[in-house]
């Protein structure tokens, strides 16, 4: 069943659990996301970045996800992740996306509000939900590099004004996570104090980006089969739990799926050196990704909420 964010996030906020948004760019990743969500009877968000759309083709990726979503009983959102322009959001909506993110977090507050409002106006008429972002994550956000020293935590009062002014349906906040596999140099730390303050002021569902767990058992798979991902570190489950308890209702995961895909491919090729059937290789990747998505859904607490 194809739904938008509003259909699943208000329930999540009331029920104090979070729904996972998982990035996809191909058939096997999408199958793994939906399979895991079906197994655990969880609502789920399939997200595509601008790069994923460029890689797969918007027609192909949207039709594939929409087709699969229509054939399952669980609620599935097709969401644009980190859309940088009004035009891209509009293009996705025209292709049947039920949700878009307009990420103008690199702009000044006023410009961010204006662009977000413009997208909300277009989307709302068409029954499409809109996520926006205020504050900047450390690390690499799409083509834009934000140095860790410049990372800006979300200001709670700005978040309140932003949510009220724009009427967005979900709001991504910066509380210390970053995209990618190398999130923390020392001990992992999130600004739960800032999150609590934001959640006290903002009724809009809050979103945590850069939330991959980068668990050592997944990294070990990659390394065991010839990879090299030393020093990779993600957000521990305990911090995810604290974030969910304090108001996060949508959690984005991409890196963990990439690691799982890589682990599966490396494992299969190492164990079957003479095999050359692509389906066997990607089937193992799909299996590893399914396991990771099952794990994430358990951690987020959205099982049996479909
Ligand atoms: O938020 C960033 C996602 O991990 C998307 O990454 O732009 O390389 O597809 P990408
Ligand atoms: P990770 O890199 O931690 O998986 O974050 C993904 C993300 O925020 C996608 O928008
Ligand atoms: Zn993100």
Q: Are 117 and 89 in contact (CB under 8 A)?
A: no
159-213 confidence digits (pLDDT tens): 999 999 999 999 999 999 999 999 998 899 999 999 999 999 999 999 999 999 9
Q: Has residue 168 been placed in a domain? A: yes
DSSP 8-state class, residue 154: P
Which tens digits make up the pLDDT trace of 279-305? 999 999 999 999 999 999 999 999 999
111, two tokens? 């410009």
Decide if 216 is inside a domain. Answer: yes
pLDDT at 151: 60
Q: Is residue 137 part of a domain?
A: yes
Q: Which domain holds residue 52?
A: 5-300
- Any domain includes 37: yes
Coil/strand/helix, residue 141: strand
User: Is 294 part of a structural domain of the chain?
Assistant: yes
pLDDT of residue 258: 98
In this predicted structure, the answer to whether residue 139 has a pLDDT above a threshold of 70 is no
pLDDT for residue 150 is more than 70: no
Specify the pTM.
Answer: 0.96
The stretch 123-141 carries a mean pLDDT of 88
pLDDT at 136: 84
Please give the tally of structural domains in the chain. Answer: 1
Question: Is residue 137 predicted with pLDDT exceeding 90?
Answer: no
Whether 246 and 205 have beta carbons less than 8 Å apart is answered as no
Mark 152-182 as b/e (b = at least 16 C-beta within 10 Å): ebbbbebbbbbbeebebbbbbbbbbbbbbbb
**Ligand number with the minimum distance to the CA of 21:** 2
Q: Does residue 306 lie in a domain region?
A: no
Question: For residue 12, what is the domain's CATH number?
Answer: 3.20.20.70
Ligand in closest contact with the CA of 210: 2
Q: How far apart are CA 220 and CA 216, in angstroms?
A: 6
Q: In 3D, which of 161, 171, 182, 239 has the Cα closest to residue 205?
A: 171
Residue 39 counted as domain residue = yes
Tens of pLDDT, residue by residue over 59-109, are 999 999 999 999 999 999 999 999 999 999 999 999 999 999 999 999 999
- Ligand 1 atom closest to residue 81's alpha carbon, by position in its atom list: 1
- The pLDDT score that the predictor gives to residue 142 is 45
d(CA 86, CA 123): 10
Q: Give catalytic residue positions.
A: 81
Ligand 1: centre distance to CA 175 (Å):
19
Q: How far is the CA of 59 from the centre of ligand 3 (A)?
A: 23
Write out pLDDT tens, residues 236-261. Answer: 999 999 999 999 999 999 999 999 99
305 is a domain residue: no
Q: Span 106-128, mean pLDDT? A: 98
């Amino acid at each position: 069943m194809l739904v938008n964010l509003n259909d699943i996030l208000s329930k999540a906020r009331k029920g104090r659990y979070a729904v996972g948004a998982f990035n996809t760019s191909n058939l096997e990743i999408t199958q793994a996301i939906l399979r895991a969500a079906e197994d655990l009877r969880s609502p789920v968000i399939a997200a595509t970045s601008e790069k994923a759309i460029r890689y797969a083709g918007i027609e192909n990726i949207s039709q594939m996800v929409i087709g699969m979503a229509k054939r399952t009983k669980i609620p599935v959102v097709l969401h644009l992740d980190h859309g940088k322009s009004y035009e891209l959001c509009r293009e996705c909506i025209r292709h049947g996306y039920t949700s878009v993110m307009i990420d103008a977090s690199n702009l000044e507050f006023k410009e961010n509000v204006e662009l977000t409002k413009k997208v909300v106006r277009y989307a709302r008429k068409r029954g499409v939900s809109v996520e926006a972002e205020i504050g900047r994550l450390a690390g690499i956000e799409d083509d834009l590099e934000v140095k860790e020293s410049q990372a800006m935590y979300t200001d709670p009062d700005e978040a309140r004004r932003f949510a009220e002014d724009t009427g967005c349906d979900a709001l991504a906040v910066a509380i210390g996570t970053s995209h990618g596999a190398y999130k923390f140099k020392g001990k992992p730390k999130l600004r739960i104090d800032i999150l609590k303050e934001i959640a006290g002021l903002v009724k809009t569902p809050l979103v945590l980006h850069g939330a991959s767990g980068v668990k050592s058992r997944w990294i070990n798979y990659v390394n065991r089969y010839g990879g090299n991902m030393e020093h990779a570190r993600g957000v521990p489950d305990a911090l995810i739990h604290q974030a969910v308890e304090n108001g996060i209702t949508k959690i984005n995961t991409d890196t963990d799926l990439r690691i799982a895909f890589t682990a599966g491919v490396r494992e299969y090729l190492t164990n079957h050196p003479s095999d050359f059937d692509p389906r066997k290789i990607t089937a193992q990747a799909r299996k590893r990704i399914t396991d990771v998505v099952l794990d994430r859904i358990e951690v987020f607490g959205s099982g049996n909420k479909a």
